[in-house]
Amino acid sequence: MKALLFANTDWYLYNFRLPLAKALRTQGYDVLLLSPPGDYAKLLTQEGFRWTGLPLPKGVNPLSELRALYRLLRVYRAERPDLAHHFTIRCVLYGGFAARSAGVRAIVSSVTGLGHVFTTNSWLNRLLRPLISVVYRYVFARSQVIFQNPDDRRDFLRLALLDEARTHLIRGSGVDTEFFRPGTGLRSDRPPTVLMVARLLREKGVHEFVEAAGIVRKKLPETRFVLAGAADPGNPSSIDPEVIVEWQNRGDVDFLGHKSGIRELIQASDLVVLPSYREGAPRSLIEAAACGLPLVATDVPGCREVVLNEANGLLVPPFDSALLADAIIELLADGERRAAMGKRSRAMACELFSQDRIVRQTMDVYAKVLKGVQ
């Protein structure tokens, strides 16, 4: 038996789906990992997996898209996998089309939202929506589809892009709750620290985080705000570098860029914040929950799956820096409340978002589709 896992970066495969690949290998599968080339490919091969590089175009260029699809189809026809699992929207669409064309009998799609074409109302996106909808329906007609939150599943069903019988709810890619665990305690002589972990995209709520930092620091000037995350120049939602420089010059937020040792950053923080406009299952909040931290996030799909208001954190409306600042101030002022919320976060992470649970649920979907449920 052969399984193919296709994602838009080798970083994603290594950091989020390596346990799943190992579980497949343990069950006797020959596992092929497919993604655009990157720095993590060698780490995947060092783990003993076959990896194939497949460049994907950025932006919308019909000729580039067709070339990428042709190369992908050649891989599928050469490999002829028994099972193909596709992650992120472009890979779901490309991979699903190639898998169906190559006669792959078991196809699984992991979806994290409708995508930029449906959520941004530009003239080009309005033009593309009917075409993308047709491709979705073609791909999903032979695929089991995994959603990370019920809101996304509801949106896809509302648009009649698939049948409900083909849907599954699995909350994220799972975190290692033995690795992401509470630290040994924070020093009392350090300033209170508020952390956000996200790419520098408008839809992640970076603007709101920076504005809230300015509001909070006027009242609590010793508070440190930290943003860990890289820019994403190819993304249409990427924040202008000049704006980032302006924010850095204000001095309210420490911009760290991409950080590999994220656990240590979380453990050294008092509060983790994500003012995103929409999520699938936000990894940064789940990792922070596993580390036993209280959370502040927006009351939007994905975030409200991880943050239960007044239980393990606070939910605030999206796009509102002032209310975000109020929630941060409220929790920073009450250490006992933060500690109680942190314990609930840890319990939720172990119960709902553990790596073992997510891998087991995904393997159950594989078993279902391989039994011929089409």
- Domain co-membership, 339 together with 360: no
Shared-domain flag, residues 268 and 333: yes
Query: In this structure, are 328 and 360 located in the same domain?
Result: no
Q: 204 and 140 in one domain?
A: no
Q: What is the mean pLDDT of residues 337-342?
A: 97
Does residue 115 surpass a pLDDT of 80? no
The answer to the question of residue 89 being in a domain is yes
Q: Are both 286 and 197 inside the same structural domain?
A: yes
Predicted model pTM: 0.91
Q: Stretch 172-185: mean pLDDT, rounded?
A: 92
Query: Are 108 and 199 part of one and the same domain?
Result: no
Q: Is residue 242 part of a domain?
A: yes
Q: How many domains does the chain have?
A: 2
* Domain membership of residue 252 as a residue range: 193-352
Mean pLDDT over the full length of the chain: 92
CATH of the domain at 148: 3.40.50.2000
**Using an 8 Å Cβ cutoff, are 358 and 177 in contact?**
no
* 246 and 299 inside one domain: yes
H or E segment to which residue 215 belongs: helix 206-219
Residue closest to 258 by CA, chosen among 19, 39, 6: 39
Q: Give a yes or no: residue 188 inside a domain.
A: no
Tokens of 317: 């409306």
pLDDT tier, 374 (very low <50, low <70, confident <90, very high otherwise)? very low
Q: Is the pLDDT of residue 188 over 90?
A: no
Q: Are residues 162 and 201 in the same domain?
A: no
Per-residue pLDDT band at 366 (split at 50, 70, 90) = very high
- Is there a domain that residue 56 lies in? yes
Q: Is the separation of the CB atoms in 135 and 93 below 8 Å?
A: yes
Judgement on whether residues 44 and 155 belong to the same structural domain of the protein:
yes
Assess if residue 180 is contained within a domain: no
Q: What is the mean pLDDT of residues 284-303?
A: 97
Residue 290 domain-assigned (yes or no): yes
Bin 172: left if φ > 0, else alpha if -120 < ψ < 50, else beta: left
pLDDT of 121 above 80: no
Residues 32-67 pLDDT 10s: 999 999 999 999 999 999 999 999 887 667 788 889
Which residues are registered as beta bridge partners of 4? 32, 84
DSSP classification of residue 98: H
Instruction: Indicate if 160 and 252 belong to the same structural domain.
Output: no
Does the pLDDT value for residue 373 go beyond 60? no
Lowest mean pLDDT among 119-133, 249-263, 276-290: 119-133
The three-point CA angle 89-304-136 to 5° equals 20
The per-residue pLDDT for 62 is 76
Q: Are residues 6 and 148 in the same domain?
A: yes
Average pLDDT for 18-44: 97
Kindly state whether residues 345 and 359 are assigned to the same domain: no
